[in-house]
Amino acid sequence: MGLAENQLCFDMIQEWVLKNPRTSICSEEGFHAFESITLAVSFDPDGIAMAGGGVVANEMIMFCSADAGDAFLVPTPHYPGFGRYLRWRTGMKVIPVPCTSSNNFQITAQSLEQAYQETPKILINFINAKQIHLVGDEIYAATVFRRPDFISVSEIIQEMQCDLDLIHNVYSLSKDLGIPGFRLELFFRIMIEWFTCARKMSNFGLVSSQMQYLLAEMLADDDFVINLMAESFDLGKRNFLKLYYLDKKKLEELGIVCVESNAGLFCWMHLRKLMSTASFGGELELWRVILNEMKLNVSPGSAFHCDEPGWFHVCFANMDDETMVITLGRIKAFVKKG
């Protein structure tokens, strides 16, 4: 429950790989096919770059766009690794933009302005006025399980007057296809100066030629891609919806509030009423009880720089229905006991 991983596409990916041994250098057929290629994927040299994973791609964007000592504004709650991976080598700062549960942790102009002073259109207007860069990390684009549908920053800017050199996108197959180990991340809409820098930086986070070849062959298989989109994505949406509502409904029956959502692999549940004190210290104390006594691996909101104590991050797409029932049973027993 602590890992935001999509396991709903594993069977289709595995079946395709087994039926296509030519894509693996571990097979005789694949080894000889691989010998004849140097790079299986071609890119538009003016706007797309590739990196070995989401962390590497975001770090490269930071290196390209700013200098040591500069800062990036990141709405909270956010991925806890940003505070480490985006600062250690770049020498830059990650400044949290506090969002509150009163509006389901939505970004507001007030929170952005406050964060800027102190250290989807609203963001673009804001960065355009301040002349700062916007990086849209869209790795959860295909995990939408109910309306409203996902809209990319690239779509929004088609209807607005803005400085396109300030808008950048990051995308990965890790969450949508459930293949984080493939380590492939794309970032695009980057200006030429950034691209020159990114090509040099990519030497520190390369995607192997073997992996490029396998993914190029997989995504070039029209029948497989159509089947994946028609069946797996639709199944994924149904599963996400079912698991989300199963998780959320059962928790609310126990008096535990969850944030309304329409996408992603996890939900946020509010456990402040079970804390000894309404503080981050009380949150960590409860987290240790959940981990050591309930044997459930959830994450405290403070790890995501959440501005309010008592929120916990619970992943639901990395378990089956049976595991979900066991999990909710443990939570129910704990709540009644407490």
Q: Is 137 a catalytic residue?
A: yes
As a whole number of angstroms, the distance between CA 132 and CA 202 comes to 24
Report residue 169 as tokens. 């996108």
Question: What are φ and ψ of residue 291, in 5° steps?
Answer: -75, -45
Rg (Cα) of the chain, in Å, rounded?
A: 21
As a whole number of angstroms, the distance between CA 71 and CA 53 comes to 22
Neighbours of 192 (CB within 10 A): 11
Q: Which of 61, 124, 127, 137 is catalytic?
A: 137
Task: Give, for 100, the enclosing helix (H) or strand (E).
Answer: none
Coil/strand/helix, residue 157: helix
Q: Omega into 148 within 30° of 0, i.e. cis?
A: yes
Give whole-number Cα distances, 283 to 40, 298, 306, 312, in Å.
49, 12, 11, 9
CB-CB contact of 200 with 67 (8 Å): no
71-75 and 93-97 strand pairing:
parallel
Q: Which of 139, 157, 190, 256 is catalytic?
A: 139
Q: Which of 175, 244, 248, 290 is catalytic?
A: 175
Q: Which of 13, 79, 250, 290 is catalytic?
A: 79
Rounded (10°) angle between helices 209-220 and 28-35: 100
Find all residues with CB under 8 Å of 332, minimum gap 6, and list them.
250, 254
Report residue 323 as tokens. 């595991």
DSSP H helices in 171-320: 192-201, 209-220, 222-227, 234-253, 280-292
At residue 59's C-alpha, the angle toward residues 54 and 62, to 5°, is 130
Which active-site residues does the annotation give? 79, 137, 139, 175
